[in-house]
Amino acid sequence: MKLLGRLIFLAFLLPSAAWAHKFAPSLLSVVESIPNSYTVIFKTPVQTITRSPIKPTWPDGCSPVVIEKPIRVGTGIITQWRLTCNPPASNLEGKSFGVSGLATNRANAIFSLTLIDGTDFQAMLNADHPTYLIRAPRSAGGVSLDYLALGIEHIWGGLDHLLFVLGLLMLINGGRRLLWTVTAFTLGHSITLALAAVGVIQYPVDLIEVLIAISVFTLAVTLTGKNQEHLFWRSPGWLAAGFGLLHGMGFAGALLEIGLPSKNLLLALFSFNAGIEVGQILFIAAFLLPWQYLKKRSSRRFGVARWASIYLLGSLATYWTVERSVIAFG
Q: Is the pLDDT of residue 257 over 80?
A: no
State the pLDDT at residue 14.
46
Alpha-carbon torsion angle 198, 199, 205, 211, nearest 10: -80
Give residue 91's domain range: 26-137
- Average confidence score pLDDT of the chain: 82
9 within some domain:
no
- Domain count of the fold of the chain: 2
**Mind listing the pLDDT tens digit for each residue in 101-136?**
998 888 888 888 888 887 778 777 888 999 999 886
**Do 164 and 61 share a structural domain?**
no
**Do 234 and 121 share a structural domain?**
no
Count CB atoms within 10 A of the CB of residue 85.
21
16 within some domain:
no
Give mean pLDDT, residues 218-244.
Answer: 79
**Do 158 and 117 share a structural domain?**
no
**Mind listing the pLDDT tens digit for each residue in 125-173?**
888 999 999 886 667 888 888 889 888 988 887 889 999 999 988 888 6
**Do 133 and 88 share a structural domain?**
yes
Count CB atoms within 10 A of the CB of residue 316.
22
pLDDT tier for residue 325 given thresholds of 50, 70 and 90: very high
pLDDT tier for residue 226 given thresholds of 50, 70 and 90: low
Instruction: For the chain, give the percent of residues with pLDDT over 70.
Output: 85
CA distance 143 to 249: 22
CA distance 195 to 203: 11
108 within some domain:
yes
Nearest to 159 by CA among 306, 21, 297, 307: 21
State the pLDDT at residue 227.
57
**Mind listing the pLDDT tens digit for each residue in 41-51?**
998 877 665 67
8 within some domain:
no
pLDDT tier for residue 90 given thresholds of 50, 70 and 90: low
The region of weakest confidence among 17-31, 219-233, 254-268 is 17-31
Would you say 80 and 40 are in contact if contact means Cβ atoms under 8 Å apart? Answer: yes
**Do 83 and 167 share a structural domain?**
no
